[in-house]
Amino acid sequence: MNILFVINNLYGGGAEKVLQTLVSNLCERNYNITLYSVIDEELDTKVYPSKLSYKSIFKNVPDHCHPLKAFYIKLLNKLKLLIFHHLSPQIFYKLFIGGNYDVEVAFIEGYSTKIVSGSINKKSIKLAWVHIDLSENPWSRIAYRSLAQEINIYKTFDRIVCVSESVRKGFLKRFEEFDSLTVKYNPIDSEEIITSSEQPANMKISNKPFLISIGRLEDQKGYDRLLEVIKRLKNNNISVHLKILGEGSKRKELEAFINDNQLEDHVELLGYVDNPYPYLKNAQLYVASSRTEGFSTVVSEALVLGKPVLATNCAGMNELLGASEFGLITENSTEGIFKGIQEILLNKALLERYVIQSEIRGKQFKLESSVLEIEKLWSHE
């Protein structure tokens, strides 16, 4: 069976990590996988299987490229962008994707979804993944001329796959009633996470309580709020050390806040880290400060490693943590995060209880059953 996956980027976020796990397991099941990314990136065969076929749509200009070749690449990219925005998805698909597939998957909202909607393969099964509550964070609208166009694009798919019940409800709130919606939880490779966590990591160990958060440095993740909380904890003589793993457009703003408030001894921005799991394993607390989420991959991974979790109240958290049964869910605000971290750090019994509860919840993630559930989307079971 030939399966096409289209995603915006290969690395950096939860959806990309889930895709790495999913396509690796599908390749082991002898599916023929073709992976397109909207942005051209080098395929890392340590995280993606080497046997898949990788292609990209908008090309990068190589270093030391001949000026004429560089001009051609930039011109072609501009032409593609004009076609994407002004002509039909069918034309874009025919020109820049093509191929004969049995299943075609838009693995993230926005550009990828619009591209796959233009498929000219009449017999293929078309799936669109939704990883975030689009009523709270409708970022995907940048790919469309109007809300009506986005709705019509989603109507071309056989199934719309939401990663949590909260995401499904958010989808219906933003758009309208869809009979094709289904919920499939993200596959988590527990064995690989545990094995990777045992690898050595070149990290500084502080004598302060070690907090960690992992994600893109973007507004959605709420790191501006989290740094404000670290500042308030410092001012209240509650000493902590926070490591943030991830890269993004908000780095300079976050660095400026750290410098302006003398937080250099309390916060490290470590950028993108190939293997974050040793850091996660050694932390006392994982903090998810997000304004919006879908079904947090990193929270799932923290639970697999038995780490206590503090998370803001956004999509997917109740499904992961229950009503603060397996981790502490706080009000989705700076004040909520501050009170939650303060409570869990000052209450040793509470912290120890969440260590036990996270281990219980983490054992419930089964990769095999998750992948089998996803296979049902095209196996007509």
Q: 101 is in which domain, residue-wise?
A: 2-188+366-379
Pairing of strands 309-312, 328-330: parallel
Whether 40 and 81 share a structural domain? yes
Instruction: Note down pLDDT in tens along the chain; length 381 residues.
Output: 999 999 999 987 788 989 999 999 999 999 999 999 999 999 999 889 999 999 999 999 988 888 999 999 999 999 999 999 999 999 999 999 999 999 999 999 999 999 999 999 999 999 999 999 999 899 999 999 999 999 999 999 999 999 999 999 999 999 987 888 999 998 989 999 999 999 887 777 667 788 999 999 999 999 999 999 999 999 999 889 999 999 999 999 999 999 999 999 999 999 988 899 999 999 999 999 999 888 888 999 999 999 999 999 988 899 899 989 999 999 999 999 999 999 999 999 999 999 999 999 998 888 888 999 999 999 865
Measured between alpha carbons, how far is 98 from 339 in angstroms, rounded to an integer?
A: 53
Whether 292 and 345 share a structural domain? yes
Measured between alpha carbons, how far is 35 from 146 in angstroms, rounded to an integer?
A: 28
Whether 325 and 206 share a structural domain? yes
Cβ neighbours for 353, distance < 8 A, ≥ 6 positions apart: none
- The CATH number that applies at residue 30 is 3.40.50.2000
Whether 173 and 222 share a structural domain? no
Number of domains in the chain: 2
Whether 177 and 276 share a structural domain? no
Give, in order, the Cα–Cα distances in Å from 185 to each of 131, 180, 259. Answer: 10, 16, 40
Whether 147 and 270 share a structural domain? no
Cβ neighbours for 337, distance < 8 A, ≥ 6 positions apart: 222, 225, 226, 229, 287, 289, 310, 312, 330
Whether 44 and 152 share a structural domain? yes
| Contact present, 102 and 134 (Cβ < 8 Å) | no
Whether 131 and 229 share a structural domain? no
Cβ neighbours for 339, distance < 8 A, ≥ 6 positions apart: 330, 331
Measured between alpha carbons, how far is 198 from 239 in angstroms, rounded to an integer?
A: 27
Whether 183 and 209 share a structural domain? no
B/e letters for 336-345, b = 16+ CB within 10 Å, e = fewer, are: bbbebbbebb
Whether 264 and 323 share a structural domain? yes
Measured between alpha carbons, how far is 87 from 97 in angstroms, rounded to an integer?
A: 15
Whether 272 and 287 share a structural domain? yes
| Contact present, 107 and 19 (Cβ < 8 Å) | yes
Whether 236 and 117 share a structural domain? no
